[in-house]
Structure 1
Amino acid sequence: MNDSLRRAMADARMGERQLAEKCGVDAKTVGRWLADASRVPHARHRWAASDALGVDESMLWPSTVRAAIKTGPDREVVSVYPYRSAAPTSLWRSLITKASDELTFAGYTNYFLWLEQANLGGALRRKAEQGCRVRFLLGEPDSETTRARERDEDVPLTLSIRIRVTLAELEKIKDTKGIQARFSSGHTHLSVFRFDDDMIVTPLLTHRIGHDAPMLHLRRSQDDGMFDRFAAHTDELWTQGRPVWGSTDGQA
């Protein structure tokens, strides 16, 4: 039996027929998934199921993430997606929900988070009130770096507009102790999002926007590995960054 899938369905109050409709399969197929834990659905069905149930794919079918314990230099790589948009939105919510010590959003605009995550501001406020450090690293909307990237992207919804949307959302929660925001230009083509010991990394490609970027899901398992190197990179940019809210940064 796939007990993890059964529990996730129970938590979501979703039956076999309902999940089948979400995944574009028939109810008998979902029944077979439940009856045999070794049965692994097609990737698009796994993503649809994890999105519908609000849990990470690795919790439902862990064998798809790692069939065996890895010992090589890539052992911190949990999963790889050709596009950020190919990852289930539930993955982001799951990582945010599980984090208790640190949430760092070092995307140049972080705009997509507010679109894809319902009541993100409220979730971040609760996390900060529980003692979690919440940091946003953003590009400056009026900088030459931003203008150069806008020329490269050449899309109607410009970077500066997307950054200002994030700034407007952060303005609503900036009075919460533990929520901080800084401007930086050092992550123009590399976004890093940290959730305690999990991390999402997206290197941006020329003439592409964020959702077209390849995406790595990392989980820390060693000193000075990939996770630590990206974390050190982000921390250095944070140190060099300019507070969005002046002298109040770090105090609220």
Structure 2
Amino acid sequence: MDDEPVPNDRLRAAMDAAGLTIEDVSARVEVDPKTVGRWVYADGRRPHRTTRTLVAELLRVEETHLWPAEKRPASSPAVAELVHLYPTRSAVPFALWTDLIRGATEAVDVLVFSGQFLVEQHDLLPVIRAKEAAGVRFRIAVGDHTSSAVVQRAAEEGTTGGLEGRVQMMRRYLQDVAHLPGVEIRTHGTILYNSIYRFDGQALINGHAFGSLAGQNPMLHIRHVPDGTMWEHYMRSFDRVWDLARPEPTER
């Protein structure tokens, strides 16, 4: 239904970026924690104007970003897709990665060269096993460490041999889940313009600048909304690489 409440992903992302919990915001703006929780997860309603101003100042973002006006211009679907912009991948809160990874109930798509941090920092493999058993579909495209694109990228970022090693490590990690029916692992040798991490209707998009490490580049947090364009743009990009990628042989 059109009037069904939806979570305020922008507010949640801004709170995560500021390192503040629901209880923190509640204390700072003098509002009951249950009310703040409803703003984030349930109501989808706009607080009183004075309260909106206090929250926006606390989180250091524009009020209209957290609570867009009800009457929006024709271009608003694309604007509404952007949940948050992080200056670097390293600035994305650990809690957001955890929420997205563990909250997926339908599909997870990952396009990277390595993505080793997903396993070593976010313990991805046990999550894949549990969620695959619950019906979640995984498509993970990692680099081919022998491809010219990976070798060139390593040289450009000043990690000759290092990136290739991380890619090999990730491919080895993924062998532990590659045999599962709901998990597809492929390797690709395309130029990686963006790393893509899609979790159901939300995604983190890590653009890549020449000569910089992946963790140093900005990260877009976007969500799927009706008539939006960014979501379809990046998902088409994923599918194009996926179609070119080669299925990874399993060791089992």
Same-fold status (TM-score > 0.5): yes
2:119 maps to 114
How far apart in 1 are the matches of 2:26 and 2:246?
54
2:96 maps to 91
The answer to whether structure 1 residue 161 and structure 2 residue 161 are counterparts is no
1:68 maps to 68
How many aligned residue pairs are there?
208
Q: For the aligned residues, what is the CA RMSD?
A: 3.1
SS in structure 1 of the partner of residue 66 of structure 2: coil
TM-score by length of 2: 0.72
CA deviation after TM superposition for structure 1 residue 65, in Å:
5.4
Q: Could you tell me whether the CA contact under 8 Å between 1:89 and 1:116 is conserved in 2?
A: no
Q: Could you tell me whether the CA contact under 8 Å between 1:106 and 1:187 is conserved in 2?
A: no
The answer to whether structure 1 residue 78 and structure 2 residue 83 are counterparts is yes
TM-score by length of 1: 0.72
**Which residue, out of 208, 229, 243, partners 2:247?**
243
How far apart in 2 are the matches of 1:32 and 1:223?
38
The answer to whether structure 1 residue 203 and structure 2 residue 207 are counterparts is yes
Q: Could you tell me whether the CA contact under 8 Å between 2:151 and 2:160 is conserved in 1?
A: no
SS in structure 2 of the partner of residue 74 of structure 1: helix
1:35 maps to 30
How far apart in 2 are the matches of 1:221 and 1:121?
29
Cα 1:77–1:167 change in 2 (3 A) is same
> Gaps spanning 5+ residues in structure 2: where?
1-6, 8-18, 37-50
> Gaps spanning 5+ residues in structure 1: where?
5-22, 45-60
CA deviation after TM superposition for structure 1 residue 223, in Å:
3.9
Please show how residues 151-230 of structure 1 align to structure 2 within 5 Å: 151-155=155-159, 158-223=162-227, 225-230=229-234
How far apart in 2 are the matches of 1:155 and 1:237?
24
How far apart in 1 are the matches of 2:138 and 2:86?
25
CA deviation after TM superposition for structure 1 residue 175, in Å:
2.2
2:150 maps to 146
CA deviation after TM superposition for structure 1 residue 224, in Å:
5.9
SS in structure 1 of the partner of residue 226 of structure 2: coil
Q: Which amino acid aligns with 1:171?
A: Q
Q: Which amino acid aligns with 1:172?
A: D
Q: Which amino acid aligns with 1:85?
A: S
How far apart in 2 are the matches of 1:182 and 1:64?
41
SS in structure 2 of the partner of residue 227 of structure 1: helix
CA deviation after TM superposition for structure 1 residue 142, in Å:
1.3
Please show how residues 116-135 of structure 1 align to structure 2 within 5 Å: 116-117=121-122, 119-135=123-139
SS in structure 1 of the partner of residue 237 of structure 2: helix
Q: Which amino acid aligns with 1:130?
A: A
How far apart in 1 are the matches of 2:136 and 2:202?
15
CA deviation after TM superposition for structure 1 residue 115, in Å:
2.6
* Farther off after superposition, 223-232 or 161-170: 223-232
Q: Could you tell me whether the CA contact under 8 Å between 1:108 and 1:187 is conserved in 2?
A: no
How far apart in 2 are the matches of 1:131 and 1:210?
31
Q: Could you tell me whether the CA contact under 8 Å between 1:105 and 1:136 is conserved in 2?
A: yes
Which runs of structure 1 show a deviation greater than 4 angstroms over 4 or more consecutive aligned residues? 28-31, 41-44
Please show how residues 50-65 of structure 1 align to structure 2 within 5 Å: none
Residue by residue, what CA displacement relative to the aligned partner does 1:120-162 show, whole Å, maximum 9, x if unpaired? 1001111111111111111101112111111101137711111
